[in-house]
């Protein structure tokens, strides 16, 4: 380890009252205890923030009286001007961008300004790039977010999901992985798994690997909820998992090192990675929404990121109120376009030599999920790459399973036809059959479990879950395959204000959600103490809410913060006699 672990530092905190008093446009703040100054820019509900310090020679910014729009500030030293709405300097034009601070809202609507320290940890111990021989660095796309990297005489694999479903039974592989995928996994020197979602941490895939090579080195970031929190219960016998601190170089050999970075500033689950070989950087931001708090290395040799959208139950699984088919279709169209433009702009700003869209190649292929498959449209990687070509001179790669990118060739001559070798013509690119039966059987086996003969499992489960003192009432309804109420299933209320289970909704004013879930999936999740991502991201529920408010604390708890060990059903059954 060459450098110190990265940490999140709070620079300024504002009370809910101060947040309520923010005016549209520019707001100046001073942290009285540190003496440091900050600028917050508010545009309707959108906030941006930076240090009140000019990048030129550290001068203090004040209001720019010539600016009638109220968007720019002027440095008291040399009259440099900064447009705070874009964080770009306008005098001198095209000179710098101001580094942004991360803004976090707390549970009471207070606000924190946060900086990751060190902000650019990859600058520690720089290695100047050396020439690469043809064939020395090769990147092979396997499927979804899984890449096979040949780096000199070492092999590294990202996020192997190569068989089985993800999110209970909601996601299946779009691409047919190369037939030798298991051999490739077994031959790897190390594997990086970015986070605990099952399209990245695939226990069906890792079981096949562990049966052959249980001691393969696997690296994960030091997230708040451990990536492998469920390893013991999964029955997958991996014995060589390394949890590494954020923002530190991990040396593999004299030419190869890597660094895992956190997403945003609260490292609950997502991470991304920089791999460096002979000074050449490969940046994989995976699913991160704000990797490293928005600070990323520029001009890397290869950047890969997600692009597709559609990794959420919202809005397809919602009904009632505004959630008409027309509204949902328009929302999805707008959101996908916003994501496409955001990714293209990010690539333009970071200027990698090569960009590859990945980690979005999944399909809702089970026949019962036909509605989701038809409505949950995803971005087209070629459309994104065409947009990038239009606004920048970055080379792009739309990967096919088994395709190989030769980094040395591509860097020397992006037009060299041998720099990307696609699979031979006739190779199967898209899957057309999936082995649904064994995975659905595992879920449906839970339906008859002895636990569910006793209605007191409901209190046992929600007490174990530990979410309460929150004004929300939910109705949980077990359903058949098509989300029709199951006459033999459970249908009950949970009042999270006092964690009670009333027969009728309480008379006080309360928000309400109705959650209908396929019986096999909800019982599997309950029995094994799994996170509700399987239900929500896996499209295994149908939801209505009144009023139409997203209850972040509730969903965040059930998607990230459930206890690390499952409910003690053995003890529960003994108590039932």
At 1 the pLDDT is: 44
- Establish if 2 belongs to a structural domain: no
Contact (CB, 8 A) for 206 and 185: no
- Establish if 124 belongs to a structural domain: no
Least confident piece of the model among 23-32, 96-105, 249-258, 360-369? 96-105
Nearest to residue 376, comparing CAs of 167, 201, 537, 552?
Answer: 537
- Establish if 440 belongs to a structural domain: no
At 265 the pLDDT is: 65
Residues 184 and 242 in one domain: yes
With a CB cutoff of 8 Å and minimum separation 6, the contacts of 405 are: 138, 139, 140, 302, 354, 356, 397, 399, 419, 420
Beta sheet of 541-546, edge-to-edge order: 491-495, 473-479, 512-518, 541-546
Domain containing 45 — which CATH number? 2.102.10.10
Domain containing 361 — which CATH number? 3.60.15.10
Residues 411 and 461 in one domain: no
Residues 510 and 571 in one domain: yes
CA dihedral 496, 500, 501, 504 (to 10 degrees): -80
The mean pLDDT of 462-476, rounded to a whole number, is 97
Measured distance CA(418)–CA(413) in Å, rounded: 10
Q: Which domain holds residue 456?
A: 446-576
Residues 199 and 85 in one domain: no
Domain count, the chain: 3
Given pLDDT bands bounded at 50, 70 and 90, which one contains residue 264?
confident
**Quick one: which H or E segment has residue 543?**
strand 541-546
Q: DSSP assignment, residue 299?
A: S
At 3 the pLDDT is: 66
Q: What are phi and psi of 314, to 5 degrees?
A: -95, 135
Least confident piece of the model among 65-69, 189-193, 352-356, 440-444? 65-69
Residues 418 and 559 in one domain: no
CB atoms within 10 A of CB 131: 11
Final residue of a domain: which of 387, 415, 435?
Answer: 435
Count Cβ atoms within 10 A of the Cβ of residue 141 and give its class: 0-12 exposed, 13-18 middle, 19 or more buried. buried
Least confident piece of the model among 32-36, 203-207, 275-279, 288-292? 288-292
Least confident piece of the model among 86-100, 180-194, 296-310, 555-569? 86-100
Residues 158 and 214 in one domain: yes
Residues 330 and 255 in one domain: yes
- Establish if 319 belongs to a structural domain: yes
**Quick one: which H or E segment has residue 332?**
helix 325-350
Per-residue pLDDT tens digits for 291-302: 998 889 999 999
Residues 24 and 152 in one domain: no
Residues 40 and 161 in one domain: no
The mean pLDDT of 266-281, rounded to a whole number, is 93
Given pLDDT bands bounded at 50, 70 and 90, which one contains residue 117?
confident
Query: What token pair was written down for 207?
Result: 């079981």
Residues 336 and 221 in one domain: yes
% residues pLDDT > 90 (the chain):
89
Residues 423 and 507 in one domain: no
């Amino acid at each position: 380890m060459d450098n110190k672990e990265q940490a999140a530092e709070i620079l300024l905190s504002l009370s809910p009252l101060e947040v309520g008093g923010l005016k549209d446009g520019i707001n100046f703040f001073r942290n009285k205890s540190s003496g440091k100054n900050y600028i917050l820019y508010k545009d309707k509900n959108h906030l941006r923030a930076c240090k009140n310090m000019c990048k030129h020679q550290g001068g203090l910014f004040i209001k720019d009286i010539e600016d009638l729009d109220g968007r720019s500030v002027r440095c008291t030293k040399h009259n440099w001007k900064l447009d705070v709405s874009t964080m770009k300097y306008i005098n001198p034009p095209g000179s710098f961008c101001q580094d942004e601070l991360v803004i976090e809202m707390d549970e009471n609507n207070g606000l924190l300004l946060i900086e990751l320290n060190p902000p650019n940890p990859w600058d520690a111990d720089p290695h100047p790039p050396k020439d690469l021989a043809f064939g020395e660095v090769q990147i092979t796309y396997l499927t979804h977010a899984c890449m096979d990297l040949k780096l000199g005489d070492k092999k590294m694999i990202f996020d192997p999901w190569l068989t089985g479903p993800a999110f209970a039974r909601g996601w299946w592989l779009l691409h047919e992985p190369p037939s030798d995928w298991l051999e490739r996994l077994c031959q790897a020197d190390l594997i990086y798994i970015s986070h605990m979602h099952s399209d990245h941490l695939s226990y069906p895939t890792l079981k096949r690997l562990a049966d052959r090579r249980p001691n393969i080195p696997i690296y994960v970031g030091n997230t708040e909820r451990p990536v492998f929190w469920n390893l013991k219960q999964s029955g997958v016998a991996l014995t060589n998992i390394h949890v590494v601190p954020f923002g530190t170089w991990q040396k593999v050999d004299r030419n190869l090192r890597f660094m895992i970075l956190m997403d945003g500033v609260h490292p609950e689950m997502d991470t991304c990675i920089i791999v460096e070989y002979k000074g050449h950087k490969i940046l994989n931001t995976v699913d991160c929404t704000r990797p490293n708090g928005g600070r990323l290395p520029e001009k890397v040799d290869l950047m890969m990121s997600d692009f597709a959208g559609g990794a959420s139950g919202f809005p397809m699984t919602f009904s009632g109120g505004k959630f008409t088919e027309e509204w949902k279709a328009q929302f999805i169209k707008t959101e996908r376009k916003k994501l496409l433009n955001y990714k293209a702009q990010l690539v333009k700003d970071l200027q990698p030599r090569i960009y590859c869209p990945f980690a979005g190649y999944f399909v809702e292929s089970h026949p019962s999920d036909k509605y989701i498959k038809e409505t949950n449209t995803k971005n087209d990687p070629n459309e994104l790459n065409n947009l990038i070509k239009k606004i920048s001179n970055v080379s792009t790669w739309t990967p096919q399973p088994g395709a190989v990118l030769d980094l040395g060739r591509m860097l020397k001559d992006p037009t060299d036809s041998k720099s990307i070798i696609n699979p031979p013509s006739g190779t199967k690119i898209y899957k057309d059959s999936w082995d649904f039966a064994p995975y659905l059987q595992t879920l449906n086996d839970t339906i008859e479990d002895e636990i569910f003969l006793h209605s007191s499992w409901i209190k046992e489960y929600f007490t174990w879950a530990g979410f309460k003192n929150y004004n929300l009432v939910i109705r949980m309804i077990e359903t058949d395959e098509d989300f029709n109420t199951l006459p033999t299933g459970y249908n009950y209320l949970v009042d999270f204000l006092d964690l009670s289970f009333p027969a009728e909704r309480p008379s006080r004013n309360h928000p309400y959600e109705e959650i209908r879930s396929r019986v096999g999936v909800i019982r599997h999740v309950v029995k094994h103490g799994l996170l509700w991502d399987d239900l929500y991201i896996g499209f295994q529920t149908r939801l209505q809410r009144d009023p139409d408010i997203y209850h972040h604390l509730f969903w965040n708890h059930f998607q990230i913060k459930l206890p690390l060990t499952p409910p003690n059903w053995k003890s529960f059954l003994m108590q039932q006699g």
